[in-house]
Amino acid sequence: MNALAMELNKTLEGSSAARLLSKTGTRMYFPKGILSQSAEANEKAKRFNATIGMAYNSGEPMALDAIMDFLPGLSKKEAVAYAPTAGVPATREAWKKEILKKNPSLANTSFSLPVVVPGLTAGVSYLADMFVDEDDKVVVADMFWPNYRLIIEERKAAKLASYRFFTPEGGFDVAGLEKATRDAAKAKDKAIVILNYPNNPTGYTPSIKEAEAIKAALVSVADSGVDILVISDDAYFGLQYEENNLKESIFTCFANAHPRILAAKVDGQTKEDYVWGFRGGFVSFAGKGLDDKAYDALVKKLMGVVRSSVSNATAPTQHILAKAMADPRYITQKAEYAKLLEERYRAVKSYLSAHQAPKGLKPLPFNSGYFMCFECEGFSAETLRLKLLNEEGIGVIAIQEKWLRVAFSSVDKSQIEELFSEIFKAAKALA
């Protein structure tokens, strides 16, 4: 094993983070190679800097006017130079401040400086590299983002262990989560849990009371001697529409919850800032008893994962995000879009309240995010999806043959009634 990896492992020794690391995570480190030497040269090479593999002219990176004309708000360096492996420092610092603004209960809790990754998918995938081995079980609700399967089962050759998302009464199944976590941990006193709220595909966020119960359940598992990595997938953060919704990230519940719990937050600009194609995300760590040295060790291991895969996330979008967060219009414009999405949500709720769903089509609870789901009984969701697509020209998503996901986020409020009327009509014909 590389000496740098051994040094990082020694820093983490005795912590849940060390025990949770996968074989890959244990071996990972950030090399003191070209990048670190270039960083040192940027500081001290006052005469000539012949380190990094970029082309410079008169002290600036070479940049085509044909490209720069489309990036008038960026300098040549911001537009075309490499970003540091962990991300542009100003962007990382600004995002951490945003996390604290949006999650005030973290004010007295230490957590790492966020590391920039190329999208939230990459964030989840890199955490899997660091913590998931082939024989591990990763706990997710039965209604989960399908890409988890591709990441966990196909890339990592691990297994998803699921529990039902909803109780028969329509609330979050806390007991199911606890049981699935205990079962997953039986082999090696280790569990990885992914919590995604607002959830894709359900569009559900736990209530404050349910969030407290989720925390208590996983703390109880940790009390029994199990180390738990709790990954908070916050892709749709900030789009909670009901008063009793948990408004802060579930990450806040676990950041300082138990010495055996390591919390990882995956979030980013993709949906929060309405820039889906920017492919920007962040990963942050927190854990009771971890200090700055431990966070630095985790960050360096994550940097090793980034360096060995994409080298670094794209720089221009990071600089744009940092500038946007400093713009006084940033907050108000985000609020305007969030209001539009809530209006669409209210329109869906109003339609479902005023119209009885046909037999075999059961609306499931939803209160946030982009989506809502129907549970199909007596016919498959795929059959309904194809009927809507081929006969009515309407696109929706079928999941596991059982659920039909409708993204009200992409339909204007004025079209909601027509959309759901067609869904009801098609389902009625299949019942």
- For position 126, which CATH number holds? 3.40.640.10
Helix (H) or strand (E) run with residue 330 in it? helix 329-354
% helix, strand, coil for the chain, step of 5: 45, 15, 35
Q: What is the pTM of this model?
A: 0.95
The domain spanning residue 413 has which CATH number? 3.90.1150.10
pLDDT attached to residue 183:
97
* Cβ atoms of 49 and 331 closer than 8 Å: no
Residue 266 domain flag: yes
Domain end: 325, 354, 376, which one? Answer: 325
Q: Is there a domain that residue 407 lies in?
A: yes
| Number of domains observed in the structure of the chain | 2
The pLDDT value recorded for residue 265 is 98
Q: Give the E-state strand segments of 166-260 in sequence order.
A: 190-196, 227-233
> Is 391 a member of any domain?
yes
Q: Is the same domain home to 366 and 301?
A: no
Would you say residue 246 lies in a domain? yes
Query: How many Å from the N-terminal Cα to the C-terminal Cα in the chain?
Result: 61
- For residue 390, the cross-strand partners are none
Q: Based on the domain organization, do 301 and 378 belong to the same domain?
A: no
Same domain, 128 and 264: yes
The answer to whether residues 253 and 342 belong to one domain is no
Same domain? For 280 and 346 the reply is: no
**Both 229 and 108 in a single domain?**
yes
Residue 276 and residue 421 in one domain: no
Same domain, yes or no: 148 and 268 = yes
φ/ψ of residue 159, rounded to 5: -125, 145
pLDDT digits (tens, 9 = 90+) for 248-304: 999 999 999 999 999 999 999 999 999 999 999 999 999 999 999 999 999 999 999
Q: Residue 351 belongs to what domain range?
A: 330-430
Q: Over the stretch 362-416, which tens digit does the pLDDT of each residue have?
A: 999 999 999 999 999 999 999 999 999 999 999 999 999 999 999 999 999 999 9
DSSP, residue by residue, 345-388: HHHHHHHHHHSPPPTTEEEPP--BSSEEEEEE-SS-HHHHHHHH
14 CA to centre of own chain? 28
Tell which of 299, 325, 351 closes a domain: 325
Residue 273 CA to residue 368 CA, distance in Å, equals 16
Residue 54 resides in a domain: no
Do both 297 and 398 map to the same domain?
no
- Among the three residues 325, 345, 370, which one is the final residue of a domain in this structure? 325
- The reported pLDDT for the residue numbered 61 is 94
Please give the single-letter amino acid code of residue 143: M
Both 296 and 177 in one domain: the answer is yes
Assigned domain for 50 exists: no
Q: Are residues 224 and 259 in the same domain?
A: yes
CB 262 within 8 A of CB 20: yes
pLDDT recorded at residue 35: 66
Answer yes or no: is 115 within a domain.
Answer: yes
Residue ranges in the chain modelled with pLDDT below 50: none
Residues 248 and 161 both lie in one domain: yes
Position 390 in a domain: yes
